[in-house]
Each structure stands twice: as C-alpha cells, then as structure tokens.
C-alpha cells in the first residue's frame, strides 16, 4: 500500500512543519526545559494563527465547526506537530485545539450546549476520568467507583488516579460501575461538574515529567442528575473503549515525530563531532545506531498509517491501533536512547530536549494501555486467525 502523502496532504504537512519550526521551537528557548505551557499571550497569538490556517480543532467534525480533516491526514500532521521539546506531552501546546472531545460528539442536544460547544470555544476544559488505583490496564474489571440510583439521579463513590488536567477543568467525563453483575456491560459514563458537592481533587501526582503532573480524584456521595448520563446507562465502556482505540493512533504518531527529530539531531551531530581524529559519522558503531533508528522510524510509521487507513475506511482497526501504539512507543524510546548515546555527555543535559524525550518516552510505554496489554490484544487476533487474513 502506498502511504506517501498526496498533494493536499503534503501542503498541510509543509504548513504545519513551518509553523512548528518558526513559531513553536523559538518560544521554547525561553521556557523552562520541562515547561508544559506557553505564555498566555503567546498561546492566544498562536491559536489565532492556527485558526487563520484553517487547522484549529483538527479532530473536530465539520458539523461542530471543525476543519473535518480525515484521520490519515491528522496522523501525518501529528507526526509534524510533535517535533519540538514538549512534543510528547502537549504537541504544539494545544494551539491546534480540540483534543479529547470524541465522547461528547455523542452527547444529547442539551449536553452539547452545556459542555461540548463551550469546550470547543475554549470556554471550558474537560478531564477524562477512567483510570483507578486498582489498576488501569483492565478498566472493565478494575473500575470500583460505583454509581447508585437515588432521587432521580446517581450517587457516585470512589476514586480515580493519573487524571490529567482535573485540577483546572470545569467538568469531567467519569466512568462508574452501575451494575456489578454485568462486567463491562455494567459501566456508565457521567458528566460531572468540578463544583459538584462530593467531588474534589485529592492530590497532585508528580511523575517523570517533572513540571507536568496528573491528579488523584475522590468522589464521596457525589450526586448527579439523570441529565448528566452520557450515552446510555450500562453502556459507558463502549464509549471508553472506542476512545482508547482511536487515541492510540495519534499517540503513536507523536512518538514517531519525536523519534524523527531526535534522529535528525543525531545525524547532524555525527557529521560535525570528531573523536580521536575521526568524525562520528564515519564510525561503524555510530552508523549502525543511525541505521537502527531509521528502521525503527519507518516500521513505526508503516504500522501507524496502516491503522489510520483502516479507521478511515470504516474497517475494524483495534488490532492495528495496538500494533501502532506498541511499535511506536517502544521504537521511539530506542531511537531517543541511541541519539543520546551519540551525543554523549551533551545528550544528558537540559541544553537539548533528548533527556526530556527519554523520560516522556518511558511514560509512553504505559499511557493509553501498556505494551503488555497491546500484545494481549494482538495475540488474541493472531490466535483467532484474524491477523494476516485481511
């Protein structure tokens, strides 16, 4: 299959590449090496530019005011958007907007007016509350947060952990068990306003990302009305599962973008750095590291674009998304590691983005489902005879 961009896609790729290199990268020179946010004035200026480019909210459907860019093109653009210091955590610092709203596209009319549209306009922020202290790899079984019927609504009790942005969001999409006898068929999705009595952010959870963090949430007799149910009662896991599968494709793409940038840096350094009278680029040990980098990048790109193509055609793509996420997150880590080795001592410093990418890439092997879970998904398809028969 030919995965080369067509003329229109290449035009958008060139546009985003120029934007990242001329607008994003120069701003990072004045930020803390672990910084995750731009100055508000710079952020507003760049949002205005992405809107003028017609690329704000690239994953938002046309019916909701977005540019309606297909998933293959979005994947190609995600590779470009991540090629900067903070590329793995906040690709382009959110100035392209619209991420993480897929669940709300299925909301009813009232919920769209109260939550979706204000979020699209930048007036509200949302968090995604799925993972729990009992385990995030198997959410269908690990969800212990419960919601019980009471007074034309639901009372939620439980906790969530590793939730990004909950301390600054106006509401969240929260998954709770509403029927213990039905397994994944007994989970419901709720929209919970951050000022709802009984809900609070228990603590900030610091991770390898240093300046960036997650949160732990607590629900204690938190009552929400029936109007806050997103979708249907006991059918919330389908909403979560669809989100997880789709998110793995751009997640993989951003790993590829960082790997490409790290490899570019290593190649340029190898061409100018001499040791014992010889350029690194002429040493076989370094050449082979660069070859392995290229193999990792190309294989990851193939798997990721294959998953995007299947999603675009409306075909089942969960296995391909798992392959993309597994390959790109693990291969991307290897590429960054080799690139650091080529730079030597300089690769360990915060003068370069490599050490940050190294930490971020380690998180990527866990986020959106750890490598072991992706292997389980792929293995089931292999054993059932699905892989290789398409």
Give pLDDT tens digits for 294-344: 999 999 999 999 999 999 999 999 999 999 999 999 999 999 999 999 999
Helix axes 236-272, 71-81, angle to 10 degrees: 40
pLDDT per position as a tens digit, 156-181: 999 999 998 899 999 999 999 999 88
Angle at 127 between CA 130 and CA 183, to 5 degrees: 20
What crossing angle do the helices spanning 354-364 and 236-272 adopt, rounded to 10°?
Answer: 150
DSSP letter string, 307-351: HHHHHHTT---HHHHHHHHHHHHHHHHHHHHHHHHHHGGGGGSTT
User: What would the pLDDT profile of 174-217 be if each residue is shown by its tens digit?
Assistant: 999 999 888 778 999 999 999 999 999 999 988 886 566 789 99
Whether residue 100 is predicted with pLDDT greater than 70 in this model: the reply is no
Average pLDDT for 287-294 = 98
For residue 136, pLDDT beyond 80: no
Structural domains present in the chain = 7-105 (1.10.540), 126-230 (2.40.110.10), 238-384 (1.20.140.10)
Mean pLDDT, range 229-248, rounded to an integer:
84
Measured CA to CA, the distance from residue 248 to residue 256 in angstroms comes to 12
pLDDT at residue 237 greater than cutoff 80: yes
Spatial separation of the C-alpha atoms in residues 191 and 127, rounded to whole Å: 10
Q: Is residue 47 a contact partner of residue 56, using CB atoms and an 8 Å limit?
A: yes
Neighbours of 133 (CB within 10 A): 13
Residue 96: pLDDT band with limits 50, 70, 90: confident
- Tokens representing 57 are 């909210």
294 as an active site residue: the answer is: no
CA 299 to each of CA 186, 323, 327: distance values in angstroms, whole numbers, following the listed order: 39, 11, 8
| Nearest residue to 200 (alpha-carbon basis) of 221, 180, 228 | 221
pLDDT at position 13, please? 97
Catalytic residue among 315, 368, 372, 381: 368
């Amino acid at each position: 299959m030919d995965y080369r961009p067509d003329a229109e896609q290449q035009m958008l790729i060139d546009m985003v590449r120029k934007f990242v290199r001329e607008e994003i990268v120069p701003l990072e020179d004045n930020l803390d090496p672990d910084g995750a946010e731009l100055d508000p004035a710079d952020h507003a200026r760049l949002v205005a530019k992405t809107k003028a480019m017609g690329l704000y909210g690239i994953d938002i459907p046309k019916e909701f005011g977005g540019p309606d860019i297909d998933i293959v093109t979005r994947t190609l653009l995600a590779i470009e958007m991540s090629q900067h210091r903070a590329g793995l955590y906040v690709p382009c610092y959110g100035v392209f907007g619209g991420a993480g709203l897929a669940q709300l596209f299925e909301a009813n009319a009232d919920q769209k007016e109260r939550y979706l549209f204000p979020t699209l306009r930048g007036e509200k922020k949302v968090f995604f509350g799925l993972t729990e202290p009992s385990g995030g790899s198997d959410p269908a079984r690990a969800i212990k947060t419960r919601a019980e019927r009471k007074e034309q609504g639901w009372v939620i009790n439980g906790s969530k952990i590793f939730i990004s942005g909950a301390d600054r969001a106006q509401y969240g999409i929260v998954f709770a068990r509403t029927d213990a006898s039905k397994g994944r068929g007994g989970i419901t999705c709720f929209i919970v306003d951050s000022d709802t009595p009984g809900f609070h952010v228990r603590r900030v959870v610091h991770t390898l990302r240093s300046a960036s963090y997650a949160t732990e949430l607590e629900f204690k007799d938190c009552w929400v009305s029936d109007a806050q149910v997103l979708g249907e009662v006991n059918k919330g896991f389908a909403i979560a599962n669809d989100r997880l599968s789709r998110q793995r494709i751009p997640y993989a793409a951003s790993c590829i973008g960082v790997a490409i940038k790290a490899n570019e840096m290593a190649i340029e350094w190898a061409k100018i750095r001499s040791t014992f009278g010889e350029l690194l680029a002429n040493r076989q040990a370094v050449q082979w590291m660069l070859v392995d980098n290229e193999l990792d990048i190309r294989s990851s790109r193939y798997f990721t674009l294959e998953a995007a193509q299947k999603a675009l055609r409306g075909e089942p793509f969960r296995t391909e998304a798992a392959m993309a996420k597994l390959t790109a997150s693990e291969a991307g880590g290897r590429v960054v590691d080799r690139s650091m080795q080529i730079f030597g001592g300089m690769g360990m410093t915060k003068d370069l983005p490599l050490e940050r990418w190294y930490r971020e890439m380690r998180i990527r092997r866990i986020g959106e489902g750890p490598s072991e879970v992706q292997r389980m998904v792929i293995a089931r398809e292999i054993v059932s005879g699905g892989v290789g028969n398409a």
